[in-house]
């Protein structure tokens, strides 16, 4: 389990360690991104805004990645896999609710495909070979999971996982779970836009900002400098 308190404790400790040595140079705890092939099978472009829901560790960083991805009209942090009754941060942090910290992505398929969203997910958003953890965060709430919103999405994701495993692009097998979405529950307001609002917090600096840099480097054609924020979207609706 990693509560908000323990995340902030991690940030404080990391900051103290960095400040304790005048010779210290910035280092990042997040894993190096893996350059992977695009999916051989992709979803057909449809009219209207589509929805994808994914989980891959702390939702702060995953949300931040897709807020910097062109064609994404919103990326909201939340919970999937459990019931509405326990879809709150304190309960989910116990690791006993069935929920994963997830991100709901609304995207324009005329600008970005579902396959590209998955390619970014498997390459820079998280490490799909870590079971029930990502970096410093451990527990089933930090699992790697794709919550397909359509049967076509499920087929595309299944085929892509098989493709990546066959190509042996990772040193270990992919452990990403895959199933149909039952429900998505938005997280509390203080979790939204967290990466943008707290760019100097050591947890963000060590674990999440490298993901944004990797997105910019590896997916330059999909990267947008100005993030698409939840609060900004609410202000225009």
Residues taking part in catalysis: 58
Contact 222, 26 (CB under 8 A): no
**Phi and psi dihedrals of 219, rounded to 5?**
-120, 55
Q: Which two tokens stand for residue 203?
A: 């947890």
**Phi and psi dihedrals of 65, rounded to 5?**
-60, -50
Calpha distance 116→120 (Å, rounded): 6
In sequence order, what DSSP letters do the residues of 26-45 get, joined into one string?
Answer: ----SPPP---PPPSS-PPP
Q: Are strands 177-180 and 185-186 parallel, antiparallel or unpaired?
A: unpaired
């Amino acid at each position: 389990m990693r509560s908000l308190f323990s995340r902030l404790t991690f940030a404080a400790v990391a900051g103290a360690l960095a400040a304790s040595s005048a010779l210290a140079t910035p280092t990042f705890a997040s894993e190096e991104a893996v350059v992977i092939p695009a999916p051989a099978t992709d979803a057909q472009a449809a009219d209207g805004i589509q929805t994808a829901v994914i989980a891959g560790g702390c939702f702060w960083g995953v949300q931040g990645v897709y807020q910097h991805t062109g064609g994404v009209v919103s990326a909201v942090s939340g919970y999937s896999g459990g019931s509405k009754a326990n879809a709150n941060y304190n309960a989910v942090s116990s690791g006993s609710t069935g929920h994963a910290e997830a991100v709901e992505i609304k995207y324009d398929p005329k600008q970005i495909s579902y396959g590209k969203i998955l390619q970014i997910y498997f390459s820079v958003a998280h490490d799909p070979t870590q079971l029930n953890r990502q970096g410093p965060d451990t527990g089933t709430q930090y699992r790697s999971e794709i919550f397909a919103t359509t049967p076509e999405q499920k087929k595309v994701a299944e085929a892509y996982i098989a493709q990546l495993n066959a190509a042996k692009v990772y040193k270990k097998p992919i452990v990403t779970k895959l199933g149909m979405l039952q429900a998505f529950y938005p997280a509390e307001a203080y979790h939204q836009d967290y990466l943008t609002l707290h760019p100097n917090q050591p947890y963000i600096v060590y674990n999440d900002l490298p993901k944004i840099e990797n997105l910019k480097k590896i997916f330059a054609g999909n990267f947008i400098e100005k993030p698409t924020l939840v609060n900004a979207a609410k202000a225009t609706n």
